Structure 1
Amino acid sequence: MYLSTSRAADLAGGTPVPSGPLRAVPGTVFALGLVSLITDVSAEMVTAVLPLYLVAGLGMSPLAFGALDGLHQGATALLRLAGGRISDRTHRRKLVAGFGYALSAGCKAALLAVTTPWSVAAVLAADRTGKGLRTAPRDALISLSCPPQDQGRAFGVHRALDTAGALLGPLAAFGVLWVVADGYAAVFTVSCCVAVLGVVVLVLFVREAPAPAPAARAPLPPVRTLVRIPGLRRLCATAAVLGLFTVGDAFLYLLLQRRLELPAAYFPLLPVGTAAVFLLAALPAGRAADRLGRRRVFLGGHVLLLGACLLLLAPVPAGPPLVLGVLGLLGLFYAATDGVLMAAAGPLLPAGLRTTGLAVLQTAQALARFAGSLMFGAAWTLWGPGPALGIAAGGLVLSLAAVALFGGREGGGPS
């Protein structure tokens, strides 16, 4: 299948490494994980309150929110390519990533000055611009810091630290809203301060190997070289097909909030449950992907997302079993897909095009999720949340079946 080529690439790598679960992870991975932890505290403070702030506070319709949620995903798409290409051309991955982190920090301050849905959308687009610029260079730094057979483990460690921030961010937002009634401005202020701290940590503690002298650099391979890598083409197709029917977590939280009739002050706690499961499962999922094959783990993650959608559609009474089931399945979905996809791509790509190749893959996924959010928001507006979720679940079933039946199989390792 699409992801099995990465397993073959892993087996082809001959770099000896220590064995056992306590193998050392490069310091670059931990440093970038710490930056992501701090930055995710900042980002998730905003993300945790944003759906309710826009829909309940500013009166945005589900269709408009679907467009905004899609913009949140799609605004990064082409900029990931730009960030990746600039990083590979200049060999300054840390610098490009740092600019992206700094831009996002500035956008947190800008949220204090905007009060209409579409002015908020413009600020969020700029924030996603920063994310688009930084994501591929950051993932390339992780990928280049460890041998092919440890890619899943390295990304699992990074995603675990990243998710610790995603766990703490909603708790921080909940604390602010608990102290300050309707304290959205206070949430944005604290978020901005935390984001600045993340940039400082990046500058002081993340290390990158010095760029080679211009005369010593090999010519940068053309981007069209990536098209000739069958494994990358298959990964992009898989990410796009499944991403088209991946329901965004913001929509799932809104559906849960409606089922539970949850007060606004408690809404930020919903992402905490997802993040807690993601945090616990990220490293085991990465190690399982290294051992069992990244395709199996990646596709299995989407089956778990399908389970969360079906649970919301089922006539389950509103209560703890529904909440724990949906949030648990959603957290396991992210653990089995987020870092695993990048780990699958890394060994397939030449070092000179590592950042650009990861950016191409991320762009395919982001554009598909952008289209998916628009379709889900339109279906919600036209037919209601239940039918919209049913359509998305049916599309995900068909997508999984298509990937399973027509993806093919490559490589000699486990699929």
Structure 2
Amino acid sequence: MYLADSRSTKPAVAPDTRPGRRPAVPGTVLALGAVSLITDISSEMVTAVLPLYVVAALGLSPLGFGLLDGINNGVGALVRLAGGHLADRGGRRHKVVAGLGYGLSALCKPLLLLVHGLPAIGAVLAADRTGKGLRTAPRDAMISLATRPEHRGRAFGVHRAMDTTGAVLGPLAAFAVLRATVDGYDAVFAVSGCVAALGVLVLVLFVPRRITPGSAPTATSETAARGAGHSPADPTLRDALALLRRPGLRRLTLCAALLGLTTVSDSFLYLLLQRELRLPAHLFPLLPLGTAAVFLLLAVPLGALADRIGRPRLFLAGHGVLLLGYGLVLAPLRGAPVAVAVAVLVLHGAFYAATDGVLAAATAGAVPAEHQGAGQALVGTGQALARFLCSLAFGAAWSLWGGRSALAVTAAALAVSAVVASAALRTTGEAAV
């Protein structure tokens, strides 16, 4: 039954590291992309209907939804460090830890059928995000380890493109279920749970347990291996936190957190567009499709572009694109609402294509192979915690001042943050990130 594990004695990637012999995108990356594609169908089915469900059906205020959305970002961040650290220990248990995360999220989807109040929904979302927090760093570490450094931008782009295919199909599935059933929300949650279980099965069957690094060992791992003729000792939590002493990783983490503080969550952006354009409720699940479709089209070419021009540079440019999107929402162009909505969603998708996988690829170049899980977790945790705070602040600002005023303040803060981050990352060479 466990096809991938039964082959774990063989390298997941051919040991020959000579240029031209190893594919730019290894099979391990494609297998992980398939898992993410299926899982994202499940997750986006819920994400597509959740804002309208809790605000319209359950009557929560924007501040209440901000709390729920903050849980989506914040709780997962609190366990990312633990997930990355555990994955690096015991001879790289990346698949085991990732599998626990995927399994926990799959169990949470059907539980949404049973809960209705804010505390109960918050608890289920917290458990679901715990699963996401556990799996994200090990998954990105496996992609980093399986891919040669010069191709990491492209590999992460391919993975994110497959992941985003699920983000396209998820809202479509939610839309179809809502139109075809009487009690649509419950049906969406039930179908989502079944799809999530399929993603866990694909992980177990097709992702190898151990990944052979796609490049020559770093100086750190070479020294450790020569010390006693065996594998390096398990990294400790102190070793993981000490990674922040590396200037490149420290700057990357701080800049990701700073920009995350001024990044409005997808759900709030879609709610604002829906209210500004007065779209029918049953069309709301289709709004993420614009973002996802552009992300899907641009993830691979922008990942390859990042490999050529520098990942920090493209990461910053992506936030500039996001700022343009905020400006369009705020602009008084109400004579062509559909065109404005399409333009905003195109810019939103381009922002993700230029930042999501690119940040992970930059992180992979800043840490040694034996700390890939912890390194990905540190940067991801900083960014996710910042977005958690942004969701809380934006929800409160919306309740006090209204959505447009809240977005205007956030856009101004993003412009300032981008200037500061640009100055910080300008001193970080590509060799370090």
TM-based fold match above 0.5: yes
The equivalent of 1:3 in structure 2 is none
The equivalent of 2:106 in structure 1 is 105
1:6-405 counterparts in 2 under 5 A?
16-18=18-20, 24-90=24-90, 91-209=92-210, 216-221=230-235, 222-317=239-334, 318-405=336-423
Q: State the shift of 1:24 in Å.
A: 4.2
RMSD: 2.0
Q: Distance in 2 between matches of 1:139 and 1:194?
A: 22
- Whether the 8 Å CA contact 1:292–1:414 is kept in 2: the answer is no
Q: State the shift of 1:216 in Å.
A: 3.1
Which AA in structure 2 matches 1:138? R
- Residues 413/94 of structure 1: CA separation in 2 closer, same or farther (3 Å cut): closer
Q: State the shift of 1:23 in Å.
A: 5.1
Q: State the shift of 1:405 in Å.
A: 3.1
The equivalent of 1:10 in structure 2 is none
What is the aligned residue count? 398
Q: State the shift of 1:320 in Å.
A: 1.9
- Whether the 8 Å CA contact 1:55–1:65 is kept in 2: the answer is yes
- Residues 162/412 of structure 1: CA separation in 2 closer, same or farther (3 Å cut): closer
1:216 counterpart SS class: coil
Q: Distance in 1 between matches of 2:159 and 2:50?
A: 25
Q: State the shift of 1:347 in Å.
A: 1.7
Q: State the shift of 1:34 in Å.
A: 0.2
- Whether the 8 Å CA contact 2:252–2:425 is kept in 1: the answer is no
Which AA in structure 2 matches 1:62? P
Cα distance per residue 1:332-362 (max 9 Å; x no partner): 0010000000000102211111101110110
Which AA in structure 2 matches 1:17? P
Instruction: Give the 4+ runs in structure 1 shifted more than 6 A.
Output: 412-415
Cα distance per residue 1:129-157 (max 9 Å; x no partner): 00000000000000000111111011000
1:76 counterpart SS class: helix
Q: State the shift of 1:223 in Å.
A: 2.2
Point out where structure 1 has 5 or more consecutive residues left out of the alignment.
1-14
- Residues 176/252 of structure 1: CA separation in 2 closer, same or farther (3 Å cut): same
Q: Distance in 1 between matches of 2:360 and 2:281?
A: 35
Cα distance per residue 1:248-293 (max 9 Å; x no partner): 1111100111112111111000001110010000001100100111
- Whether the 8 Å CA contact 1:289–1:340 is kept in 2: the answer is yes
- Whether the 8 Å CA contact 2:360–2:376 is kept in 1: the answer is yes
- Whether the 8 Å CA contact 2:251–2:424 is kept in 1: the answer is no
Cα distance per residue 1:286-338 (max 9 Å; x no partner): 00100111111101111111111110100112522111101100000010000
Identity of aligned residues (%): 59
1:60 counterpart SS class: coil
Q: Distance in 2 between matches of 1:368 and 1:303?
A: 18
Which AA in structure 2 matches 1:356? A
Q: Distance in 2 between matches of 1:413 and 1:370?
A: 31
- Whether the 8 Å CA contact 1:226–1:357 is kept in 2: the answer is yes
1:208 counterpart SS class: coil
Per the normalisation by structure 2, the TM-score is 0.88
Deviates more, 1:121-130 or 1:202-211: 202-211
- Whether the 8 Å CA contact 2:172–2:285 is kept in 1: the answer is yes
Per the normalisation by structure 1, the TM-score is 0.92
2:25 counterpart SS class: coil
Q: Distance in 2 between matches of 1:62 and 1:210?
A: 44
| 2:429 maps to 1:411 | yes
